[in-house]
């Protein structure tokens, strides 16, 4: 088994909520949503050569636009992420998690090498400084941790999904420890983030999940045809460097509690 790819029991057939029958009038709206997402991604690719000259606030706004263009409302709660070197970690449910995490703070994403082959988004990720991981090569793990630590020492934010795989949201995986070693080596804080999805009535939903043998196209269409989806992002308090004795304890402290109905009582930063 790959060190970076634990086995998740979630599958589209057993975990993902079947969408309601798509009405004829829903199709044009879904196509418009996907077209808007594509145009925003293309715009992002065109602007990547400007790199650090683009204000972080504009990058965060662009990431929220991508999620909104897909027809999903965004709600971010909690404290703002600190500046300087920072490891952002979150649970992983959907492809939507990537722009949502960047909406908290723009960061170099830690991603599997397969992402590089994704249409449009793969090119955007590569040009945006993504750190790609070959999850099938255990021997490459120390070098990957060293590259992450190097980026953190230089003051960059690095975003990772330590579960190593997507889960449906009603179940979750255990945070794997390797990426937390990079934060310890670099002496930077860890920012835990929790992501969840709800319907307009407030019930948690697995509709946006991208799990198992699900295809990206199927997940995109399921999100674009859904109604009343809201992405809820809880930014928890940062874990300071030196606050945990080892990577095992640090991973355990960053792990979100096992509940699908978090209480959203923090100050709303983004609506």
Say yes or no to pLDDT of 158 above 70: yes
> 117-143 pLDDT, tens per residue?
767 667 666 766 777 776 666 676 788
Residue 19's pLDDT is what?
65
Say yes or no to pLDDT of 260 above 70: no
Residue 135's pLDDT is what?
64
Can you name the residues that pair with 270 across neighbouring β-strands? 76
> 172-223 pLDDT, tens per residue?
889 999 899 999 999 999 999 999 999 888 889 999 999 988 888 899 999 9
CB atoms within 10 A of CB 204: 16
> 5-59 pLDDT, tens per residue?
566 778 888 888 766 666 667 889 999 999 999 999 888 877 777 766 788 889 8
Interacting residues of 31 by C-beta distance below 8 A, sequence separation 6+? 224
Say yes or no to pLDDT of 254 above 90: yes
Cα of first residue to Cα of last residue in the chain, in angstroms, is: 41
Say yes or no to pLDDT of 116 above 90: no
Q: Which residue has the higher pLDDT, 243 or 259?
A: 243
* Averaged pLDDT for residues 151-158: 94
CB atoms within 10 A of CB 157: 25
Residue 263's pLDDT is what?
36
Give the global pTM. Answer: 0.85
- Burial (CB count within 10 angstroms: exposed 0-12, middle 13-18, buried 19+), residue 269: middle
Residue 267's pLDDT is what?
33
């Amino acid at each position: 088994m790959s060190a970076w790819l634990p086995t998740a029991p979630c599958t589209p057939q057993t975990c993902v909520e079947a969408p309601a029958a798509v009405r004829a009038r829903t199709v044009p709206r879904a196509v418009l949503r996907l077209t808007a997402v594509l145009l925003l991604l293309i715009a992002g690719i065109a602007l990547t050569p400007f790199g650090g000259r683009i204000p972080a606030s504009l990058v965060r706004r662009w990431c929220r636009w991508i999620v909104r263009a897909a027809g999903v409302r965004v709600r971010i709660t909690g404290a703002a992420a600190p500046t300087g070197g920072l490891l952002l970690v979150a649970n992983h449910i959907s492809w939507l998690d990537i722009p949502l995490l960047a909406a908290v703070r723009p960061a170099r994403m830690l991603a599997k090498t397969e992402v590089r082959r994704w249409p449009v988004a793969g090119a955007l990720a590569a040009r945006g400084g993504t750190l790609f991981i070959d999850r099938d090569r255990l021997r490459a793990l120390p070098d990957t941790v060293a590259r992450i630590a190097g980026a953190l020492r230089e003051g960059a934010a690095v975003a990772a999904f330590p579960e190593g795989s997507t889960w449906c949201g009603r179940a979750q995986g255990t945070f794997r420890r390797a990426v937390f070693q990079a934060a310890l080596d670099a002496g930077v804080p860890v920012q835990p983030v929790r992501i969840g999805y709800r319907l307009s009535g407030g019930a948690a939903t697995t509709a946006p999940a991208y799990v198992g043998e699900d295809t990206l196209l199927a997940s995109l269409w399921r999100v674009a045809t859904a109604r009343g989806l809201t992405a809820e992002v809880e930014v928890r308090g940062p874990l300071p460097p030196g606050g945990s004795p080892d990577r095992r304890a640090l991973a355990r402290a960053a792990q979100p509690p096992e509940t699908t109905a978090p209480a959203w009582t923090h100050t709303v930063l983004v609506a």
